[in-house]
Amino acid sequence: MQVHLAEHLPRNRRIQLGGYYTPEKLVNRVYELIKPYLMAKKENAVVFDSAGGCGAFLINSESYSYRIADYDKEACGVLVNRFRKENVFCTNSLVGVKRERFSIPESSFLIMVGNPPYNDTTSEFRKGEKGENLCDPDLFDRDLGISFLRSYHKLRADLVCVLHPLAYLIKETSFGRLREFKDHYRLKRGDIFSSDIFPGTGLTKFPILIALYERSDVGMTFDYILNFHFNLLERARTFVLANYKTTDRHIQKYPPGKNAPKISPIGLYYYSFRDFNSLKRNASFIAKQIPNSIVVTIENFYKYSYLYALKRLFNPEDSWLYGNLSPLFLGDIERDKRIYVAYALLTHRVLQEMDRSNFKKLLEYYRISHDDLADAKTLEARITSKLNKELRVQEMSGSMEAPTTAANRSAILTERSEKKCKSGECQQQRIQFVDD
Ligand SMILES: C[S@@+](CC[C@H](N)C(=O)[O-])C[C@H]1O[C@@H](n2cnc3c(N)ncnc32)[C@H](O)[C@@H]1O
């Protein structure tokens, strides 16, 4: 039987248990990372996979002390045949969490390994197929994977080397939800790979991390994560979150708050989004107000035109890497707004079918002539090349430029061009990127 494939489980059980078992090369990488600690601690080390499935992570288990737990009965049936019975625990690892429950001495150097379930990210979860998270109240989170990370702190693990979505670290709200875990553990090494390594995890790919954490009194701040140099697995490439600018703080991504206007003066809305993956998945411009809609106005239209262009045209080789980030802020959106607006007006069905007087108002406001709307292919090619070029600039930048800097610069440019318009200097010109 293939312990890496959860072959014994039907699809709906696999989803409920988070049972996408781990390919061998990822397990081997975990071993490479913990090996120096295992060697140093020798007799005193205990390796524990508390969501062990069929035991994929316990390779060479005859050479060290180990424990393995899983609450799936069928997986346990496999475990008791493969491992020493006294080391197998068929139980919910998130209830009554303490070392004693798993016969782990307080004095042992405890190393947690594995690929604990995570289930807030897949579409199956939203369709309600997932089970509930039954756990100690202090471990509860809507995402099982976060509960598992917290349980490692409760076990006072000395070292943690597990797979989990990168989003737990790079989304500031998720990072906060790690609570005591982030205050007591420090990331030492992080190798990123795409979720498509797991067959059947859904169409939207997202980044997963092989993370090595040491127990530490210093813990981690979000700034530490922002500047951390992650590696791309089997690639000579790093990923530093601080190098990327996102549209957060520049473009509203959620529906208007309680007292904000909910009706668009031009009858246009944009479907709300959380991150780049949901931007790509969701609808874009819509003609009617719905609970998930953002209000589009003449003034902010160019921002949503940019997002629409990004959704359609930004598709770099590693696009999965940016899936959990807010959409990237590539280039100077303010400065290049006319080309984004023209592209949206030319290619989006809802915009072509909108009220003609509102369409005209948009053309006038952004100083776009009918000639500018002649050739979608050329616009597409120019935007694609612009986005890719700007991405390379951000990838290469070791700079710590704050995300607001670009906006400040844009704001200055807009102010200048508005002044020019008032003084009659601004005339209709063909749409151009400033650095075309
Ligand atoms: C993603 S699989 C990983 C299995 C194995 N570690 C591997 O990588 O091949 C997650 C496993 O966690 C188990 N699991 C989920 N919730 C659990 C819980 N609360 N307690 C114990 N096991 C759990 C599932 O039954 C499943 O076998």
Question: Of ligand 1's atoms, which has the minimum distance to the CA of residue 114?
Answer: 6
Rg of the chain (C-alpha set): 25
Per the CB < 8 A criterion, the answer to whether 130 and 16 are in contact is yes
Q: Euclidean distance between the first and final Cα of the chain, in Å? A: 59
- Look at residue 20 and tell me whether its pLDDT is greater than 70: no
- Look at residue 329 and tell me whether its pLDDT is greater than 90: yes
Distance from the CA of 60 to the center of ligand 1, in angstroms?
20
Burial label, 254 (beta-carbon count in 10 A; 0-12, 13-18, 19+): exposed
Residue 79: pLDDT band with limits 50, 70, 90: very high
Q: Please write down the HEC assignment for all residues of the chain.
A: CCCCCCCCCCHHHHHHHCCCCCCHHHHHHHHHHHHHHHHHHHHHEEEEECCCCCCCCCCCHHHCEEEEEECCHHHHHHHHHHCCHHHEEECCCCCCCCHHHHCCCCCCEEEEEECCCCCCCCHHHHCCCCCCCCCCHHHCCCCHHHHHHHHHHHCCCCEEEEEEECHHHHCHHHHHHCCHHHHHEEEEEEEEEEHHHCCCCCCCCCEEEEEEEEECCCCCCHHHHHCCCEEECCCCCEECHHHCCECCCCCCCCCCCCCCCCCCCCCEEEECCCCHHHHHHCCCEECCCCCCEEEECCCCHHHHHHHHHHHHHCCCCCHHHHCCCCCECCCCCCCCHHHHHHHHHHHCHHHHCCCHHHHHHHHHHCCCCHHHHCCHHHHHHHHHHHHHHHHHHHHHCCCCCCCHHHHHHHHHHHHHHHHHHHCCCCCCCCCCCCCC
Residue type, 321: L
Task: Give per-residue pLDDT as tens, 99-152.
Answer: 999 999 999 999 999 999 987 534 344 444 456 789 999 999 999 999 999 999
Rounded mean pLDDT, 287-307 = 97
Rounded mean pLDDT, 288-304 = 97
Mutate to test the pocket of ligand 1, among 2, 4, 71 (most ligand atoms within 8 A of CB): 71
**CA 147 remoteness from chain centre:** 18
- Look at residue 420 and tell me whether its pLDDT is greater than 80: no
**So what's the pLDDT on residue 426?**
39
Angle at 13 between CA 9 and CA 14, to 5 degrees: 70
Distance CA 139, CA 379 (A): 51
Mutate to test the pocket of ligand 1, among 25, 72, 113, 198 (most ligand atoms within 8 A of CB): 72
Residues 6 or more apart from 178 whose CB is under 8 A from it?
146, 149, 150, 168
> Parallel, antiparallel, or unpaired for β 109-114 and 88-90?
unpaired
Distance from the CA of 115 to the center of ligand 1, in angstroms?
7
Distance from the CA of 18 to the center of ligand 1, in angstroms?
6
Please tell me the pTM assigned to this model: 0.84
Distance CA 166, CA 161 (A): 14
Residue 284 tokens read as 């874009």
Residue 9: pLDDT band with limits 50, 70, 90: low
Which residue's alpha carbon is at the smallest distance from atom 12 of ligand 1?
51
Distance from the CA of 73 to the center of ligand 1, in angstroms?
11
Mutate to test the pocket of ligand 1, among 54, 115, 164 (most ligand atoms within 8 A of CB): 115
- Look at residue 21 and tell me whether its pLDDT is greater than 90: no
2 sits in the region (left: phi over 0; alpha: psi -120 to 50; else beta) called beta
Distance from the CA of 30 to the center of ligand 1, in angstroms?
17
Distance from the CA of 278 to the center of ligand 1, in angstroms?
27
Distance CA 198, CA 106 (A): 35
Residue 11: pLDDT band with limits 50, 70, 90: low
Ligand 1 is surrounded, with C-beta below 6 A, by: 17-22, 49, 51-53, 56-57, 69-72, 75, 92-94, 114-115, 117
Residue 355 tokens read as 């009220």
In this structure, the number of other CB atoms found within 10 A of the CB of residue 413 comes to: 14
Per the CB < 8 A criterion, the answer to whether 215 and 158 are in contact is yes
Rounded mean pLDDT, 313-336 = 95
Q: In what order do the strands lie in the sheet with 293-296?
A: 285-286, 268-271, 293-296
**So what's the pLDDT on residue 10?**
56
Residue 397 tokens read as 């930048």
The CA-based diameter of the chain, rounded to the nearest angstrom, is 85
Task: Give per-residue pLDDT as tens, 49-72.
Answer: 999 999 999 988 899 999 999 999
Distance CA 162, CA 210 (A): 6
Rounded mean pLDDT, 20-43 = 92
Distance CA 326, CA 274 (A): 7
Which residue's alpha carbon is at the smallest distance from atom 22 of ligand 1?
70
Which residue's alpha carbon is at the smallest distance from atom 21 of ligand 1?
70
Mutate to test the pocket of ligand 1, among 15, 17, 201 (most ligand atoms within 8 A of CB): 17
Task: Give per-residue pLDDT as tens, 172-197.
Answer: 999 999 999 999 999 999 999 999 99
Distance from the CA of 54 to the center of ligand 1, in angstroms?
9
Residues 6 or more apart from 42 whose CB is under 8 A from it?
none
Q: Which domains, and CATH codes, for the chain?
A: 11-242 (3.40.50.150), 268-422 (no CATH)
Distance CA 362, CA 354 (A): 11
Question: Of ligand 1's atoms, which has the minimum distance to the CA of residue 3?
Answer: 9
Distance CA 37, CA 233 (A): 21
